[in-house]
Amino acid sequence: MFMENEAPGFTLARGVCRFLVDAGLAPVTEFSPAPGLRTDVSALARDGEIWVIECKSSLADLRADRKWRGYLDWCDQYFFATPEGFPDEALPDEEGLIRADGFGAAILRPAPLRPLAPARRKALTLRLGRAAALRLRMALDPGAAAPAEG
């Protein structure tokens, strides 16, 4: 169910996550791959590839983001997700582009593949798995103490 006053970035992330699940990836929102970083959506593919998707609801949102380049070291593929009407020419041509709304998404421009080093991939895969498992545990037992995801 949609929240009437939900933030536009949250709506984009929901559509992106629906698309990713349909495509066979396992998304985790608001994920921290490293201290000081928090992605809008990170996703793990069946083959172990890791995607990061940053949701930009407006040009002002893009201009205010000074950290997005820091995520490139933490994924195999990097995408921006934007709503219909976003000025795509403001985005870097070398990154992937996804058009999204609250119901789904589609890749408009593929992201270049920048394979992670095996040690970093293993560490991120474990971190993603732990984050997802702990969030599920909290959803199933909301009265339990919140464990650290790291």
Per the listing, tokens 């421009």 go with: 109
28/113 Cα distance (integer angstroms): 20
Distances (CA, A) of 121 to 49, 50, 75, 114, 133: 8, 8, 8, 12, 18
**pLDDT tens-place values along the chain, 150 residues long:** 445 567 877 899 999 999 999 999 999 999 999 999 999 999 999 999 999 999 999 999 999 988 899 999 999 999 999 999 999 999 999 999 999 999 999 999 999 999 999 999 999 999 999 999 999 999 999 887 776 665
Query: What domains can you pick out in the chain, each with its CATH number?
Result: 8-140 (3.40.1350)
On whether the CB atoms of residues 56 and 80 are closer than 8 A, the answer is yes
List, in sequence order, every beta strand (DSSP E) within the chain: 26-31, 39-44, 50-55, 77-82, 96-100, 105-109
The pTM of this model reads 0.90
* Residue 12: both structure tokens together: 């984009």
